Chain A
Amino acid sequence: MADGSADTSRLIVAVDKAGLSCTITILPGLPAQTPTEMEIRALLEEQRIAAAAIDEDAIAGLIGRARSDPDSEHAERVASGTPAEDGAHAGFRLCPELENRFAEIEHRRTAILEHGEPNGDAPAATGLDGEPIDFHDLSAFVIVRAGETLGTVTEPTSGADGVDVRGETIPAKRGRSLGVKTDYTTRIDRGRMIAAVPGRLVHAIDRVTIETTLTVSDDIDFATGNIDFPGSVLVHGAVKDGFRVRATGDVQVEGLVEAATIDSDADVSLTRGMAGRDVGELRVEGDLHAGYLDGVRGRIERDCIVANEIKACDLRVGRRVESPGCAFYGGALHAGLRIELGTLGSAGGVETLAAVGAGEEIDDLASKLEDLVATIFLQRDRASSELAALNAAIKKLNASQAERLTELQFEQIRADELAAKLGEAAADLLGVFDRNARPTLVVRRKLHGGARIRLRHVGLVIRETITGPVTFDLDEGGSPRCYLEGATEPSPIGQLAKLEDTGRGDPLELLRACAVHAVAPAAGGDTLCDDSAPPAAAA
C-alpha cells in the first residue's frame, strides 16, 4: 500500500443483533494511513447503514483519536437505531374510597385476630384513623349501589415502532387488553367501571364482580359486623347476640339466631330457629319459616310457618299462622286471617293469647272513620245553623254577609262530599272483609285450659283442656262458634270457654255504621240561597 493512501483493512464494522447500534473499530497502523471520513462512510454504505442513523461527530472523533494515537485500537458507535416502544397494557384501579374500605376491612380482620374473640365481647381495637372501632357497625363487606363508580379503566395503547441502523422498521408490541375479568354486574363507561347491580363488591387480582346474594360462610358476629345488604343474604352460620341482618331480598340463616334483629323486605327462613331472649326482633315483609321461635317479638306481613315451637313471643302476622305441628305457649300471637297450631297454651297455665282477625287494627280504622264522619257532620251542622240564620235575612244581607253565605254553602257541599267519600271507603273496607275468610283458629292436638283466644272483638278463655282437633270461628252475626273433632254442629261455646270482655264492639259493625251515616242524605231545612236569575240576566 502506498504512503498517504488509507488502509481500509484496518477498519472493522460491527452491527449488534438488534440492529440498533453500528460500531467501527480502527486497528493500529501508520498515522498517514488512517482511514478518512469518506472511506468510513463508503464502508457504512456498503454495509447498508442508513444515512439518517449515522453520527457524523462520532466518526470525526474516531478519526481524530486514531490519528493522534495510531498505535492503539479505537472503537466508536457511529450509527444508532431507535428502539420500538411497546404499548401499555390495559389496567383497572379501584377508586380511593373503595380501596380504603378494603384496607379497613383487612385492618379489622387483623384486629379481630389480634385483639379479640369474634364470639366474645367486642374487641378493643382502633381503626386506621386511630378511633375505637365499633365492630357492630363496621361491615366486613364492601357493599356498592347500582351506578356507583368502582374505579378507572385504562385502555391498552399500541406503542411506537422503532427503526434499526439500516432503516428497517422494528414493530412495537400492542398492550394487552384488560387482564381483569368482568361480567354483567359491571359496565365500563368512558374509562370508569360502574356497578350495574347493587351488591357485594369482589375485587380479586384477576376479576371484579358484584355478588347479588351475600353468602356468609360463618357466623354474623364481630368478624362480619351488622349486615345491611341490597339483595338476598344467606348465612351458613349463626347470628350472634346484638347483631342485625337487614336485606332488601330474602334472608336465610342456617344456624341459630340469638338475641339479634332480622329485617327483610322479602321472605325469611330461619332453619334452626331464633332464641331472642325477649329482645330478638323480626320484621318480615313476606313469609317467615322457622324451626322455632323463643322470646321473639316482631311483625310478619304475610304467613308464618313454624315447625316446632313458639314460646314467649309477641308476634303480629298479617295473614296466616300455618303451623299445625307447632306448640305455642307464653306471649301473644296475632294473625289477620287464620291461626293453625298443634297445641295452644300449657299445662302450667302460662299466659297465652292467640288472636285472629286484626281486631285492633280494624277497630282503630273504624273509630278513625267514625270520628272523621262525626267531625264533618258537626261542622256541617254548625254551618247549617249559620246558613239558616243568613237565609232568613236574605233580603237584608250586607256585602260581607252575602259572601259568608256563599262560603257556608260551599262548606256544606264539601262536607257532604267528604262524608260520602268516607262512606265509600268504609264500604270498600267492608267488602275486603267480606271477601276474606272469617277469622279462624284451629288447634290440632291440645288446647290447654286457661289459654286465651280472641276472634276479632270476641275474647274467650278456655275452661278445661280440650283435645283437638278443635276449630273456633265467628258466625255471620259475629258470635263465636266452636267445632270439636268430626262435629258438624257447633258445640255450646259456654261449656268450653268463658267470654272475656275485650272492651270492644264488633269493628265491622262500626264500619257498617260509618258507611250508612256517611251516605245519608243531607239534613233538610238548610236550603241554599235563592239562585234565581240575577238582575243582569233579567236585563
Chain B
Amino acid sequence: MKVMLIDDSKTMRNIQRSVLKQIGIEQVEEACDGQDALSKVGAFSPDLILVDWNMPNMDGLTFIKTFRKQDRTTPLIMVTTEAEKSRVIEAIKAGVNNYVVKPFTPDLLSQRINETMSKCAA
C-alpha cells in the first residue's frame, strides 16, 4: 500500500512514517504543504493520504477541496490540532474520510488508518 504524508513538520512526518512502518507500510511519499502534495500526488497515486490542516502555501483543507475535484475515492485522513466540532464538520464536508486530533498515540493513528481502509474497501 502507498501512503502520502502531508505535514509541514518533518518530525510529525517521521512519527507518522514510523507508525506506518509498524503496520507494514513502507511505500511512503512526503509533502510539506498542499501545493507540494498536489505536484506529487499524480505521479505517486497513493492508496491513502494523511493531511495536516495548518500548513504554509496551501493548507490542508484547500488541498482536500482541490484534490477531491479530480479524485473522489482515495481515502483521506485529516491529522490536525483543530479539534473543534465545526472544523471537523468542515473537513468532512470537504471530503475527508477520518479525523485524528493531535496529540495522538501510535495506537490511535494505526487504528484510524485500519478503520479507514476497511471502510473504504467495503
| A397 in the interface (beta carbon within 8 A) | yes
Chain B's closest residue to A529 (CB) is B103
Is A535's CB under 8 angstroms from B102's CB? no
Bound CA span A537–B11, Å: 25
Bound CA span A539–B82, Å: 15
In the complex, what residues of B have CB within 8 A of residue A534's CB?
Answer: 83, 88, 99-101
Flag B49-91 by CB within 8 Å of A: 1 or 0 each.
0000010000000000000000000000010011111001101
Count: A-B pairs, CB below 8 Å = 68
| B114 in the interface (beta carbon within 8 A) | no
In the complex, what residues of A have CB within 8 A of residue B85's CB?
Answer: 535, 539
In the complex, what residues of A have CB within 8 A of residue B107's CB?
Answer: 531
Chain A's closest residue to B11 (CB) is A407
**Neighbour of A403 across the interface among B81, B92, B96, B106, CB < 8 A:** B81
Chain A's closest residue to B84 (CB) is A535
A contact residues, range: 20 to 34
| A432 in the interface (beta carbon within 8 A) | no
In the complex, what residues of B have CB within 8 A of residue A27's CB?
Answer: none
In the complex, what residues of B have CB within 8 A of residue A398's CB?
Answer: 81
| B104 in the interface (beta carbon within 8 A) | yes
**Interface residues in A494-539 (C-beta closer than 8 Å to B):** 528-529, 531, 534-537, 539
Is B89's CB under 8 angstroms from A539's CB? yes
Is A410's CB under 8 angstroms from B83's CB? no
Residues of B in contact (CB 8 Å), total: 29
| B18 in the interface (beta carbon within 8 A) | yes
Is B92's CB under 8 angstroms from A410's CB? no
Secondary structure dominating the interface of A? helix
Flag A394-428 by CB within 8 Å of B: 1 or 0 each.
00011100110111011001000000000000000
Chain A's closest residue to B97 (CB) is A536
**Neighbour of A529 across the interface among B18, B89, B96, B104, CB < 8 A:** B104
Is B15's CB under 8 angstroms from A407's CB? yes
Is A406's CB under 8 angstroms from B104's CB? yes
In the complex, what residues of A have CB within 8 A of residue B15's CB?
Answer: 406-407, 410
Bound CA span A405–B100, Å: 14
| B27 in the interface (beta carbon within 8 A) | no
CB distance from B92 to the nearest CB of A (A): 7
CB distance from A413 to the nearest CB of B (A): 7
In the complex, what residues of A have CB within 8 A of residue B88's CB?
Answer: 534-536, 539
Bound CA span A413–B22, Å: 13
In the complex, what residues of A have CB within 8 A of residue B45's CB?
Answer: none
In the complex, what residues of B have CB within 8 A of residue A536's CB?
Answer: 78, 88, 91-92, 96, 98-99
CB distance from A533 to the nearest CB of B (A): 9
Q: Which 9 A-B pairs have the closest CB atoms?
A: A536-B99, A405-B103, A399-B81, A531-B108, A406-B103, A402-B102, A402-B81, A534-B101, A529-B103
In the complex, 19 of the A-B residue pairs with CB atoms within 8 angstroms, ordered by the A residue number, are A399-B54, A399-B81, A399-B82, A402-B101, A403-B9, A405-B102, A406-B12, A406-B103, A407-B12, A407-B15, A529-B104, A531-B105, A534-B88, A536-B88, A536-B91, A536-B92, A536-B96, A537-B98, A539-B85
A contact residues vs B (CB 8 Å cutoff): 390, 397-399, 402-403, 405-407, 409-410, 413, 528-529, 531, 534-537, 539
Q: A402-B81, A535-B84 are known; give 5 further A-B pairs, CB within 8 A.
A: A397-B81, A402-B102, A534-B83, A536-B78, A536-B91
